[in-house]
Structure formats: structure tokens, C-alpha cells
Amino acid sequence: MDEYIGKKLIQLKINGERFSAAAEPHETLLEVLRNRLGLTGAKAGCDVGECGACTVLMDGKPVLACLLLAVDCQQAEITTIEGLSQGRELASVQEAFLAEGAVQCGFCTPGMVLATSALLTQSIRPSEEDIKRALAGHLCRCTGYNKIFAAVQRAAGTDRGKA
């Protein structure tokens, strides 16, 4: 039980790599990702857990980085949007979002893609309700969600009759 204040070196496991950052207890995971580690894919849309734009995966589960203290995240395997694809090859979820036109301004996209990725890992043939439940916390102001929904179905292989 060591109580501390001020900067301390913390270790984070992100996208399969180990990172160190000097962080104070009050710094959120989102702040450390964006401001210390240059991983700006996770976005601050509201900073209070109401929009989903800061979503990252923690041990495969989607969570809100703006509501996590960085110092609390040292044991977990964190996946950010940057970790989803290798080089120029995109993950199938990302391809699906592009193919269906599910990206407009792109600000909600990293969170949506990660949440979709987690959903499809957990549920191979998600129902309409499964999809809505997984993405209900992700606000999108551009697409009306129609093409995002289609992209999830495409990635899941549940869209019938599509090329």
C-alpha cells in the first residue's frame, strides 16, 4: 500500500508493446495516450463518458479512457485504434466501415470500430439488438448510424446478398 502524489513512472501495455510514461495520479488514460504517447486515435468528445469517442479495449472489452486513471491501467492489455491494423493492411472491421460508407467526419470512427471489433470477437453472428446494445454509447452526428449498422453486419458476414 504505497500512497503517492506527483509524477511516477507507470508502465502500460498498449497494442502489444510496453510504454513508460511519467504520470500523475489525476491523469486519465485518455490524456496519457494522447498527450504523452502520441496515440491520438482515441478522441476526447466530452471527457465525461457520454459519447464513446475515447473508447479503447481493455483485455478485449470496450471501456472509456476518459474515465480511467492511467495509473489504474498498468495490469491490462490495452488496444487502441492504432493497434487494430498492421501497416497498410486493415482489419476486416475497418474495411467494412470503408466499403459501406460508414465514415464521414471520422471523429466517432475509432470508438465505433473498436466497439464493433470487440462485439464480433464475442459474438460471431450478432443480432440487430446485439449490435445496437454494443454501439448505443457511441454518438455519431454525421451518419445517422445507418451505414455504421450496415458495416457491422458486413463485417460479421450477416448482410445477406451483398457483394
| Contact assessment for residue 24 and residue 6, using Cβ atoms and an 8 Å cutoff | yes
Q: Which is nearer to other proteins, 18 or 87 (CB)?
A: 87
Q: Which of 117, 138, 155, 156 binds other proteins (CB under 8 A)?
A: 138
Q: Which is nearer to other proteins, 20 or 35 (CB)?
A: 35
Which residues lie across from 62 on neighbouring strands?
Answer: 57
Q: How far is the CB of 138 from other proteins (least distance, A)?
A: 7
CA pair distance 141, 128, nearest whole angstrom: 20
CA pair distance 53, 42, nearest whole angstrom: 6
Span interacting with other proteins, options 11-19, 41-49, 154-162, rule CB under 8 A: 41-49
For residue 81, how many C-alpha atoms fall within 13 Å in the half-sphere facing its CB?
A: 25
All three cell numbers of 159, joined, read: 448482410
Q: Which of 50, 123, 125, 162 binds other proteins (CB under 8 A)?
A: 50
Q: Please list every residue from 64 through 123 that binds other proteins, using CB under 8 A.
A: 64, 66-69, 71-72, 80-82, 84-85, 90, 94, 97-99, 101, 103-110, 113, 115
**Rule CB under 8 A: is residue 132 a binding residue for other proteins?**
yes
User: Could you tell me where the beta strands, DSSP code E, fall in 55-147?
Assistant: 55-58, 61-64, 77-79
Contacts with other proteins by CB under 8 A: the residue count is 80
